[in-house]
Structure 1
């Protein structure tokens, strides 16, 4: 469900402009990120928690205009091997993205998050190599940005990219409201979007910006002129 908090505005913005967006959900967050479900329903089984989380994700993705696919790798801890990576390679090659968003590579408060980033970057590398799963076509260059962690101060997250989501903030708010299993994050990410909007406004001089989402580029910008 991290896509709802960290990049729902960006997803909605791209989807509303006609872009095809696919969300790859590595886990349902059924153990480590569903505390409210476990607390409110003593005796609930892990498969039932997964069903709750999947229903929330399905509804949120549909609202944002994105397709969503589930790999169900399990969480807390998320322990991945070569077979997991190759499943992710298949997903990447099947969709063949030009832009990809993923977790930041550091998060001492939730080690599943950097593990997800590590898996993505390994899979992205493998998806670009013709000798890996040669029965499928390798991908080209992909622009990658890492979205903002829940507590960036602990994660060495230093944003260098802000996406103005002012015109779709109402959609993000609706998407966040669908995630009852993590309702405590709504206030956090509403305030964060406001703060990032303030910074984006200051940096750009565009006073129309009210809400934004923050990212770190994985690779530096290359061009013939400053933009």
Structure 2
């Protein structure tokens, strides 16, 4: 994830709901921000209807729930070093991903010109917002590459799309081919997670996920024969072939 396009290093994360970017790739965001990347996060919704059960049980109204989830996302983004947080407010359960949303996302992609992009697994029967987001992202990536779309604008190159880890990997057909060491920025990710008060039950869950992926990082970097130490990691699945000069 270190290749760049042009002089400015950029990345784009497309998150179906306001908290997804924190649980699933908060470490990657913080790490790349420290490496000098301008990381833009686009939240398609606040997760107000489907991922804010605690707030509804407390008797909050829709506008209050949205405001609380927005504030949580903004606080987490600041901790992680996000360059720009874009909240599209497209509703959730289900997301409204019509032509207007498509045009808005294409504009964001072209403006950011990301060296790489991140989004959800391609299949998720438990939360179809997630898999519809990735289909949406792939479509928008394609449009952003088209010279005939808004001629005169700078077209997109061919950034990799990394799919971050879903909640129940066994059911999603998600197979990681990259493990990223996030030990150096783990404190930032944990602090960002702790801003997500609407889903407190996930704080320790995603801590355990990061520890398990660290074990996989160590095994795949040499195992017992000198593998690099790692305490926290994130896993990703790449969609497109990666071009290399040596292995």
Fold shared per TM-score above 0.5: yes
Match of 2:49 in 1: 31
TM-score calculated relative to the size of structure 2: 0.88
Give the alignment partner of residue 167 of structure 1, picking from 184, 187, 207: 184
**Separation in 2, partners of 1:77, 1:129:** 28
Give the alignment partner of residue 17 of structure 1, picking from 19, 28, 35: 35
Displacement of 1:220 in angstroms is: 2.1
TM-score calculated relative to the size of structure 1: 0.96
CA RMSD of aligned residues (A): 1.1
Give the alignment partner of residue 85 of structure 2, picking from 62, 68, 86: 68
For structure 1, list consecutive stretches of 5 or more residues without a partner in the other structure: none
Is 2:237 aligned against 1:216? yes
Number of aligned residue pairs: give it. Answer: 224
Is 2:112 aligned against 1:95? yes
Match of 2:203 in 1: 186
Match of 1:58 in 2: 74
Q: Which SS does the other structure have where 1:24 is aligned?
A: strand
Displacement of 1:135 in angstroms is: 4.9
**Separation in 2, partners of 1:37, 1:135:** 46
Displacement of 1:107 in angstroms is: 0.4
**Separation in 2, partners of 1:186, 1:156:** 24
**Separation in 1, partners of 2:134, 2:241:** 18
201-210 or 148-157, larger mean C-alpha shift: 201-210
Displacement of 1:207 in angstroms is: 3.6
For structure 2, list consecutive stretches of 5 or more residues without a partner in the other structure: 1-18
**Separation in 2, partners of 1:162, 1:82:** 35
**Separation in 1, partners of 2:187, 2:114:** 26
